[in-house]
Structure 1
Amino acid sequence: MNPHSRTGQPMTRRTTRMATSDEQLRLMTRIARLYHEQGMRQPRIAEELHISQARVSRLLAQAAKLGIVRTIVVPPDGVFADLEEEIAAAYGLRDVVVVDVEGEADTVIPALGAAAAVYLETTLMEGDRLGISSWSATLLAAVEAMRSRPGGRFLEEVVQLMGGVGEPQVQVQATRLMGRLAEMTGAEPVFMSAPGLVAGATVRDAILADPKVSSVAAAWKNLTLAIVGIGSLEPSPLLRRSGNIFALDDQEKLRSLGAVGDICLHFFDENGTLLDTDLNDRVIGITPDAYRAVPRRIGVAGGDRKYAAIRAALLGGWIDVLITDLGVAGRLAGRPDRHAP
């Protein structure tokens, strides 16, 4: 069909429809009703109307172009596609998952964990190498909620992104996180057998020189995706119990510099800009540059007190996939009232 009228002007949908014969429009409508309303398959429509299947397919496509068939997506309750798309566009993200829960950490963690588990189950691909921050209650909830995928191994490695040695009572949880994730995916677990935080750069460098530790650092360069929690300046109960936190004096110093959150103990300000302090020399974990080089970076966080940290992480490009709760999502989109249009 010629896309231009005799005057040389582009044809509108109306002029295109006028250029189509009444008989062809009738046939197009008949096929569209059989296919979309009665659920009849294309081969049977072709047989019923004594035309080729190729023509059935072509006329269905043309019916959509002419507006005879209009597709409307109606999200079910608890699905916030418009809000997710709005946040993704505003912050340059590749994907957003909004969970129908809001409030403080105790309320949102189980729901966020379940959503993150489903996201991982549906998006992990064979051969992926996954890095994970081990001191996160939300990620622990996600891994606990995961189900094994039929067919055995589909991840190559699961690698700790920061030191995993802490207080014995809490260390069990970090080890369980890695072990269960490896079990669910068939991956080889790569543990970081070192503390997440040490006294200074000299101690850090000595530990990183150990072959067992340096081999983990080498594995960070091959990651295809990472999943992390987003910390606020006030450490989570799990991180606090682990012993892998800065002293109160250091936290006050960070606060005075404008720190609002962290990923893997690398702190940033409200714009997501990494704070350059000597505290970075005390962290045993993936460096900011190595982390940003990971192709896909999933952040899982929610709760009212995490809003500033989450927004800063988005502004700074620390993550490109966000899984969060409805309350935080509404604020990110400038809609503090979730019922606002």
Structure 2
Amino acid sequence: MLDHNLDFETARQMHTVLVLHFLEGMKQSEIAQRLNLSHSKVNRLIAQGRRLGMVRIDIETPYQRLMELEAALVQATSLSSAVITPTVSANAETNLQQVGKAAASVILENVRDGDVIAITGGKAVSATVDNLVADRSFDVTVVPLTGGVQGKFYTDVNNLASRLAERLGGRALMVHAPLFAESRAQCEMLKEMSSVREVFDLARAANLALTGIGSIEPSGSSYYDLNPVPEEDRKMMVGLGVSAEFMAHLILEGGSLANYELNSRLVAVAPSEISGCRTVIGVASGPHKVRPIQTVLNGKYLDSLILDEGTVNAVLTEMERSKNVA
């Protein structure tokens, strides 16, 4: 607030200095020379003008709408942060790559030497790894959150972990076990193997966790690339209220784990077990991910979420519709 006891001459001089510095972009030394003032006097006038509220800085960005969407998503959920990328194309792959690039930047902003990074498989995680270019090497360890699935490039979490570690200049540890065991007993046995247990223990306490968000609707799902499921079982899962795959686990619409046989055979860290991670980052893109994203948000599994503009608009619209119905 402006001090009314400030004498007119000092106020006029302060105003002149502030205009020259903030509006005309002059350096303090240039202002001192023009007004025949000492450099320290110019510095004091600027500092005093700030304290008196004479300086207001407005930042305009062409992406203001994205910032507003980020704030709206955080306000509507338990997230601590969100990053929204512009939807630049009708091509789903192009938008996915944009989201992956943003997620790669978030990883680089948050990673520290000595960190453990835990990751899942998935197309969005693969896009993140593809777009990560570090300016320096980081002393990090990258570990999988799940057992492995051979086949498509994005289902092989061990390969993704290795690629991410290579791009960061760190090392990767592998889980030498399948994602799905043949029985619950075999699953427990595999998870108790020292080589698997040690990796999963690191994953549970990771500094950063990077996860995809999967759909189980047949039209857009890559869950069935992990484990082939008969068509009648797919319909039954939807009928039971399963609406997302997260860390290879089937999740009910309210956010809890589904009591479904496949979940009991998963060689993987459970979603509830990553609550101790410093930051859990979710990444997703596409209209078929709207319901799964809501489901994962209902479970409060994430600290940060990275989406494209079209997807987040659909998520927020659906949240508002659900609120009005309730």
TM range (shorter): 0.7 to 0.9
Q: Provide the C-alpha distance between the structure 2 equivalents of 1:127 and 1:17, rounded to a whole number of angstroms.
A: 50
- 1:50 is displaced (CA, Å) by 5.7
Tell me what 2:168 maps to: 185
- Aligned with residue 38 of structure 1, among 24, 31, 50: 24
- 1:103 is displaced (CA, Å) by 5.5
Instruction: Check whether the contact 1:103–1:303 (CA below 8 A) recurs between aligned residues.
Output: no
- 1:128 is displaced (CA, Å) by 1.8
Q: Summarize the alignment of residues 74-153 of structure 1 with structure 2, pairs less than 5 Å apart.
A: 74-77=60-63, 80-101=66-87, 105-134=92-121, 136-150=122-136, 152=137
Instruction: Check whether the contact 2:175–2:196 (CA below 8 A) recurs between aligned residues.
Output: yes
Tell me what 1:260 maps to: 243
Q: Provide the C-alpha distance between the structure 2 equivalents of 1:229 and 1:91, rounded to a whole number of angstroms.
A: 18
Q: Provide the C-alpha distance between the structure 1 equivalents of 2:45 and 2:298, rounded to a whole number of angstroms.
A: 46
For these two proteins, the number of residue pairs brought into alignment is 317
Tell me what 2:145 maps to: 161
Q: Provide the C-alpha distance between the structure 1 equivalents of 2:299 and 2:115, rounded to a whole number of angstroms.
A: 25
Instruction: Check whether the contact 2:123–2:154 (CA below 8 A) recurs between aligned residues.
Output: no
Q: Secondary structure at the match of 1:228?
A: strand
Instruction: Check whether the contact 2:158–2:175 (CA below 8 A) recurs between aligned residues.
Output: no
Q: Deviations over 1:228-249 (max 9, x none)?
A: 10011226565433x4355545
- 1:333 is displaced (CA, Å) by 3.5
Instruction: Check whether the contact 2:254–2:298 (CA below 8 A) recurs between aligned residues.
Output: yes
Q: Provide the C-alpha distance between the structure 2 equivalents of 1:79 and 1:176, rounded to a whole number of angstroms.
A: 37
Instruction: Check whether the contact 2:145–2:247 (CA below 8 A) recurs between aligned residues.
Output: yes
Please identify, of 217-226 and 298-307, the stretch whose mean Cα deviation from structure 2 is larger: 217-226
Tell me what 1:339 maps to: none
- 1:18 is displaced (CA, Å) by 2.5
Instruction: Check whether the contact 1:207–1:213 (CA below 8 A) recurs between aligned residues.
Output: yes
Q: Summarize the alignment of residues 231-242 of structure 1 with structure 2, pairs less than 5 Å apart.
A: 231-234=214-217, 238-241=222-225
Instruction: Check whether the contact 1:117–1:145 (CA below 8 A) recurs between aligned residues.
Output: yes
Please identify, of 40-49 and 136-145, the stretch whose mean Cα deviation from structure 2 is larger: 40-49
Q: Deviations over 1:117-150 (max 9, x none)?
A: 222233322222110102x111112211211322
The yes-or-no answer on 1:314 pairing with 2:300 is: no
Please identify, of 209-218 and 37-46, the stretch whose mean Cα deviation from structure 2 is larger: 37-46
- Aligned with residue 200 of structure 2, among 177, 195, 217: 217
Q: Provide the C-alpha distance between the structure 1 equivalents of 2:318 and 2:291, rounded to a whole number of angstroms.
A: 15
Tell me what 1:4 maps to: none
- 1:272 is displaced (CA, Å) by 2.1
2:150 counterpart letter in structure 1? G
Q: Provide the C-alpha distance between the structure 2 equivalents of 1:76 and 1:171, rounded to a whole number of angstroms.
A: 33
- 1:334 is displaced (CA, Å) by 3.6
Q: Deviations over 1:284-322 (max 9, x none)?
A: 111223222212010000211111111222232111111
Q: Provide the C-alpha distance between the structure 1 equivalents of 2:28 and 2:144, rounded to a whole number of angstroms.
A: 51
Tell me what 1:10 maps to: none
Over 3 Å counting, the alpha-carbon distance change for 1:56 and 1:238 in structure 2 is: same
Runs of 4+ in 1 over 6 A off after TM superposition: none
- Aligned with residue 258 of structure 2, among 275, 285, 298: 275
- Aligned with residue 55 of structure 2, among 41, 65, 69: 69
Tell me what 2:324 maps to: none
> What is the CA RMSD across the aligned residues, in angstroms?
2.8
Over 3 Å counting, the alpha-carbon distance change for 1:53 and 1:278 in structure 2 is: farther
Query: Percent identity over the alignment?
Result: 28
